[in-house]
C-alpha cells in the first residue's frame, strides 16, 4: 500500500491555531502566563498533531486525540449547556462550569477562535486517521497517551508558581493541567478532594504532599476516562476501516 500523501495545509492550520492561542494568551495575561499555557495538554496536542500530519506520523496523531478526549468531550457538553442556560436563563455559565471562551477582556472573536479547538479538534483528528491514514488504534496508543499526560502534568506542577501571578492590576491563579485542582465539575465533590485550597485545611501547602496527591489522583481519574475514550475512538476509527476493506 503506497504511503499517504502529505498534509501541509492541515499541518500549517494546526500550527497557526497553536500560535494564535499563545498570542491571545499573551495579550490577555502577559508573557509568563502565555508561556505556561503552552503546556496545556490540548495546546501541546495541537502542536503534536501539526508535526504528525507534516511528518506523516499517525501514531503521534492517535496519541493526541486520546490525550484530549475527556477534556474536549466535557467541554463540548458544557458548551451546549451554556447555550441552553444563556437562551433560557440569561446565564453565562454551563452546568459543568468548564467551557470558558473569554479572559480578562471578556469574550472576543480572537478569544473564541483561540479556544474553539475544543469543539473541532477531535472530529478533525478522527476523520484524518480514518480516511487519510486508514489507521488502526491500538492499546499501546492509550499507554503512550497516559505517559504523555502524566509526565506533562508533573512538569506543569513542578514549574508553575504556587502563588497567583501578578499582571497589571490582576493577580491570576494558574490552573494549567489541574496543577491547582480539578477543572470544573464543581458539584462532583470527590474530584476536588486534593484541590490546593482543601490541602490547606489539612496543613499541607505548596507543591509538596498536596501536589503529589493531586497529581496521582487526577491522572488516575483522567487516564481511566481516556481509557473509555480509547474504546470509543477505536470503534469509530477501526470499524470504519474494516468495513472499507470488506467492500
User: Lowest mean pLDDT: which of 15-24, 118-127, 210-219, 225-234?
Assistant: 210-219
1 belongs to a structural domain: no
Whether residue 113 is predicted with pLDDT greater than 70 in this model: the reply is: yes
Query: For the chain, what's the residue count?
Result: 247
136 belongs to a structural domain: yes
| pLDDT averaged over every residue in the chain | 89
Task: Over range 114-118, report the average pLDDT.
Answer: 94
145 belongs to a structural domain: yes
Angle at the Cα of 104 from the Cα atoms of 103 and 110, rounded to 5 degrees = 45
Number of domains observed in the structure of the chain: 1
- Whole-number Å distance between alpha carbons of 207 and 26: 25
Query: Residue 167: which pLDDT band, with cuts at 50, 70 and 90?
Result: confident
2 belongs to a structural domain: no
210 belongs to a structural domain: yes
pLDDT attached to residue 70: 94
To 10 degrees, the CA torsion angle through 115, 117, 119, 122? -150
236 belongs to a structural domain: yes
Beta-bridge partners for 222: none
Which residues are CB-contacts of 132 (< 8 A; sequence separation ≥ 6)? 4, 7
First to last CA, the chain: 17
Task: Over range 189-207, report the average pLDDT.
Answer: 71
pLDDT, greater one: 208 or 65: 65
Query: Residue 71: which pLDDT band, with cuts at 50, 70 and 90?
Result: very high
pLDDT, greater one: 62 or 209: 62
3 belongs to a structural domain: no
Whether residue 52 is predicted with pLDDT greater than 90 in this model: the reply is: yes
- Whole-number Å distance between alpha carbons of 120 and 13: 13
**Exposed, middle or buried: residue 144 (CB in 10 Å: 0-12, 13-18, 19+)?**
middle
142 belongs to a structural domain: yes
- Whole-number Å distance between alpha carbons of 29 and 7: 33
Backbone φ and ψ of 171, nearest 5°: -125, 110
Task: Over range 44-68, report the average pLDDT.
Answer: 97
- Whole-number Å distance between alpha carbons of 46 and 108: 21
Instruction: Provide the domain limits for residue 215.
Output: 8-246
3 state DSSP class of 106: strand
Q: Which three cell numbers stand for residue 88?
A: 433560557
Amino acid at each position: 500500500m503506497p504511503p499517504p500523501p502529505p498534509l501541509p495545509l492541515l499541518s500549517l492550520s494546526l500550527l497557526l491555531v497553536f500560535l494564535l492561542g499563545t498570542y491571545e494568551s499573551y495579550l490577555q495575561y502577559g508573557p509568563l502566563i502565555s508561556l505556561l499555557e503552552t503546556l496545556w495538554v490540548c495546546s501541546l496536542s495541537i502542536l503534536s498533531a501539526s508535526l504528525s500530519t507534516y511528518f506523516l506520523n499517525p501514531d503521534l496523531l492517535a496519541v493526541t486525540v486520546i490525550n484530549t478526549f475527556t477534556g474536549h468531550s466535557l467541554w463540548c457538553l458544557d458548551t451546549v449547556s451554556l447555550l441552553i442556560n444563556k437562551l433560557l436563563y440569561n446565564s453565562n455559565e454551563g452546568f459543568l462550569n468548564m467551557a470558558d471562551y473569554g479572559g480578562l477582556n471578556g469574550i472576543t472573536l480572537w478569544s473564541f477562535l483561540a479556544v474553539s479547538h475544543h469543539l473541532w479538534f477531535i472530529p478533525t483528528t478522527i476523520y484524518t486517521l480514518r480516511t487519510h491514514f486508514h489507521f488502526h488504534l491500538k492499546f499501546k496508543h492509550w499507554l503512550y497517551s497516559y505517559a504523555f499526560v502524566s509526565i506533562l502534568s508533573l512538569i506543569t506542577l513542578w514549574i508553575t508558581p504556587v502563588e497567583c501571578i501578578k499582571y497589571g492590576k490582576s493577580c491570576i491563579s494558574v490552573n494549567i493541567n489541574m496543577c491547582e485542582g480539578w477543572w470544573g465539575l464543581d458539584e462532583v465533590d470527590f474530584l476536588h478532594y486534593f484541590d490546593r485550597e482543601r490541602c490547606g485545611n489539612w496543613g499541607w501547602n505548596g507543591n509538596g504532599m498536596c501536589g503529589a496527591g493531586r497529581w496521582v489522583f487526577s491522572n488516575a481519574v483522567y487516564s481511566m476516562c481516556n481509557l473509555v475514550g480509547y474504546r470509543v475512538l477505536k470503534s469509530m476509527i477501526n470499524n470504519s476501516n474494516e468495513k472499507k476493506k470488506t467492500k
